[in-house]
Amino acid sequence: MSRNSPQPEPPHGYKLTDLGPIPDDWNITPLGQLIDSVEYGSSAKSNTKGAIPVLRMGNLQGGRIDWADLVYTDNTREISTYYLQAGDVLFNRTNTIDLVGKTALYGGERPAIFAGYLIRIKVAAELLDARFLNYILNTPFARRYSAKVVSLAVGQANINGQKLKTYPIPLPPTMEEQRAIADALSDVDGLLGALEKLIVKKRAIKQAAMQQLLTAKTRLPGFTGKWETTRLGDHVRYLTHGVNPRADLTAEGSVRYLHYGDVHAAPGPWLNPERVLMPRLPVEKCSGLDRLESGDLVLVDASEDLVGIGKSVELRNMNGVEAVAGLHTIAARFDKEILADGFKGYLQYIPTFKSHLEKLAAGTKVYATNRSHVSSAELPLPSIQEQSAIAAVLSDMDAELEALERRREKVRQIKLGMMQQLLTGCIRLLKPQVHVAQADGDSKGGKAHSWAFNEAVVIGTLAKHFAKEEFPLGRKRYTKLSYLLHRHAERRAEGYLKKAAGPYNPRTKYGGPERIGLESGYIREHKNGPYTGFVAGDNIAQAEAYFEKWYGPAAIQWLHQFRFKKNDDLEVLTTVDMAAEELRAGGRAVDVPSVKAVIRSHPEWQAKLDRPVFSDANIATAIDASCKLFGASGEPEQ
């Protein structure tokens, strides 16, 4: 289609934008209008050890934080300035042209700061969900926009904070729809995360099994005989291989060609031509080359590092398949009376064989291995029967890993499709509204009131019912009460962080609600001796009217059960409830040990367990209270 060709009409209910069709009730909004700030990271020197990790561009992977390959700092000023908060979105501002702009969401997994090549985005929580933004910035259309605004220098690409603010964000009409989209994609991420953890676990189990079975440290049932030392060169015939570069290869033809790069890239110890796309070598160039058979072992003869020395694959299911070994390979056909089919692919994992090849490898930039290196290896080998039994055990593990990796890749593709459909509104997720969140004064023009205004009304109403001149309502107490209100009315309390005093939402102080409440006359600041906080303001009747309209008259009556609860009791209840919700979301049972494990896992919560109020008995009582208040149980979500 030419540039001047007319654009196709969008489907009914959709409108055309620079990002493609989006629903009529969605808008394209510059990112700068939806966030509180963008901040550049620390440029101070980091070290291999220190008090706190410094996240760098390599730690941003697939929209999440990769906690491998960390550097650290002890610099207290840098820690104070660049300390990350859950919900911060990190944007890679400087990198290669293909990687600049990658983004990840910091979820508060562990304390960290961020380095200078990253930008921290703090969203305006009443306008933009941080998870939603993270998914948007990892879409193909965001990558295309990055390519438009990037500045290029020698070997580097850069996108500064001002350009970042111009990114077009397709925005649903409500926060609820943003959250529904983010929830759906987070569920897929949760599945991916679970699969990745399982794959790592299975790989570790297989590695341990190989270390035991391939060295005779552990013997399979029924095998006790001594392993015999065997010189490989006495029992092998080397096959003639091709020396053709990639340029000689084609996509079609009858003869498959096993290039050394394909051996390096093989995920496991064997190669099945039915499952691998192999290049072809024209028949006229195959004259004099031996054809590969099932059980043949093909090793690489060149590697850029020691890790790749000895990398090999054993051929399987070669019946009816014509294939030859290619450039920089060593194709070996061992006597089947000495090495069993299925076992040969695991030779590369035998420490004696691996270290032998590493000692003999020659080269500086590239390490070379040759046939004589392989032939001169002397290895203790089990009987053919035990080799077959070992191979069967390890092959089952490899097959299980391969199936998990295929499933993971399928889920990744599903997620990409979901992102394309959900983040442009092609598929809409209908999320039921808990209550009508609209104030009379804000309804003109059909615009719903903001989160900050909602919380200002909540604080004012709490001050009216839970404060008096002698004892004003402190921030610690109203935060716990508002947490309980949202859990009661909306089934979840968003924006609350794991802080020392329990669940705490810093945006009530810094994001506007307290200021709005003061300016609207819903609350006023008051101090009586050591007690500082808020009491009801002159215009509190308006706040109460809004509160009753949004939450109903029964909500404040429900909260009155906490009127005479001590702050410590509220802290235990809300902390335990927040931990319990995390456990249920992760599919884990809720009990005293599991709740304590969650509390212990977060640095700002650990000290709670040293306080008498967080005794096992009090935690058990809080679990029971949480279940009764919010209809939950100790069983994990299914």
* pLDDT tens per residue across span 390-427: 999 999 999 999 999 999 999 999 999 999 899 998 88
User: Half-sphere exposure (CA, 13 Å, Cβ side) for 115?
Assistant: 19
- % of the chain with per-residue pLDDT over 70: 93
| Cβ proximity of 67 and 110 under 8 Å | yes
Sequence-distant (≥ 6) Cβ neighbours of residue 573 within 8 angstroms: 480, 484, 565, 622, 625, 626
In this predicted model, what pLDDT tens digit does every residue of 454-478 receive, in sequence order?
A: 888 999 999 999 998 899 999 889 9
pLDDT for 523: 93
The answer, yes or no, to whether residue 444 has pLDDT greater than 60, is: no
Report the alpha-carbon distance of residue 490 to residue 433 in Å, rounded. Answer: 9
Q: CA 487, 493, 497: angle at the middle one, nearest 5?
A: 135
Q: Residues 502-515, buried b or exposed e (16+ Cβ, 10 A)? A: bbbbebbeebbbbe
The answer, yes or no, to whether residue 440 has pLDDT greater than 50, is: no
Of 156-160, 449-453, 543-547, the one with minimum mean pLDDT is 449-453
**Average pLDDT of every residue of the chain:** 88
Q: Residues 212-224, buried b or exposed e (16+ Cβ, 10 A)? A: ebbeeeebeeeee
Report the alpha-carbon distance of residue 41 to residue 201 in Å, rounded. Answer: 34
In this predicted model, what pLDDT tens digit does every residue of 18-63 receive, in sequence order?
A: 888 988 888 899 999 999 999 999 998 999 999 999 999 999 998 9
Helix (H, G, I), strand (E, B) or coil at 255: strand
pLDDT for 120: 96
Select the more confidently predicted residue: 383 or 453.
383
pTM: 0.61
CA 5 to chain centre: 41
Q: What number of residues does the chain have?
A: 638
DSSP string of 184-200? Answer: HHHHHHHHHHHHHHHHH
User: Both tokens of residue 590?
Assistant: 């809720």
The answer, yes or no, to whether residue 97 has pLDDT greater than 80, is: yes
Ranked by mean pLDDT, which of 251-265, 338-352, 547-561 comes out on top? 338-352
Closest among 304, 413, 295 to 345, alpha carbons compared: 295
| Cβ proximity of 235 and 338 under 8 Å | yes
Report the alpha-carbon distance of residue 597 to residue 578 in Å, rounded. Answer: 13
pLDDT for 373: 96
pLDDT for 438: 42
Average pLDDT over residues 207-212: 95
Amino acid residing at 113:
I
Select the more confidently predicted residue: 584 or 432.
584
Q: Residues 449-467, buried b or exposed e (16+ Cβ, 10 A)? A: bbbbbbbbbbbbbbbbbbb
User: Both tokens of residue 312?
Assistant: 């090999």
The helix (H) or strand (E) run that includes residue 94 is strand 94-95
Closest among 331, 339, 340, 328 to 304, alpha carbons compared: 328
pLDDT for 582: 85
Of 225-239, 253-267, 493-507, the one with minimum mean pLDDT is 493-507
Q: Residues 543-553, buried b or exposed e (16+ Cβ, 10 A)? A: bbebbebbbee
The answer, yes or no, to whether residue 6 has pLDDT greater than 80, is: no
Of 4-8, 40-44, 154-158, 244-248, the one with minimum mean pLDDT is 4-8
Report the alpha-carbon distance of residue 3 to residue 1 in Å, rounded. Answer: 7
User: Both tokens of residue 39?
Assistant: 């901040």
| Cβ proximity of 369 and 309 under 8 Å | yes
Pairing type for strands 312-315 and 270-271 reads parallel
In this predicted model, what pLDDT tens digit does every residue of 269-283 receive, in sequence order?
A: 989 888 888 899 999
User: Both tokens of residue 519?
Assistant: 């300016």
Pairing type for strands 367-368 and 302-303 reads antiparallel
Select the more confidently predicted residue: 353 or 601.
353
Residue found by looking up tokens 């259309």 in the block:
141
User: Both tokens of residue 113?
Assistant: 């700061």
DSSP code of 254?
Answer: S
Q: pLDDT-derived band of residue 7, with 50, 70 and 90 as boundaries?
A: low
Ranges of beta strands (E only) in 457-530 are 497-499, 502-504, 523-528
pLDDT for 448: 46
pLDDT for 4: 53
Amino acid residing at 601:
S
pLDDT for 439: 39
The answer, yes or no, to whether residue 5 has pLDDT greater than 80, is: no
Of 9-13, 198-202, 280-284, 436-440, the one with minimum mean pLDDT is 436-440
What are the phi and psi torsion angles at 455 (to 5°)? -70, -30
The answer, yes or no, to whether residue 431 has pLDDT greater than 70, is: no
- % of the chain with per-residue pLDDT over 90: 61
Q: pLDDT-derived band of residue 349, with 50, 70 and 90 as boundaries?
A: very high
| Cβ proximity of 613 and 572 under 8 Å | yes
pLDDT for 491: 80
Q: pLDDT-derived band of residue 173, with 50, 70 and 90 as boundaries?
A: confident
Closest among 312, 308, 297 to 263, alpha carbons compared: 312
User: Both tokens of residue 409?
Assistant: 């890749």
The answer, yes or no, to whether residue 150 has pLDDT greater than 90, is: yes
Closest among 608, 604, 609, 607 to 110, alpha carbons compared: 604
Of 3-7, 222-226, 294-298, 471-475, the one with minimum mean pLDDT is 3-7
Average pLDDT over residues 328-344: 95
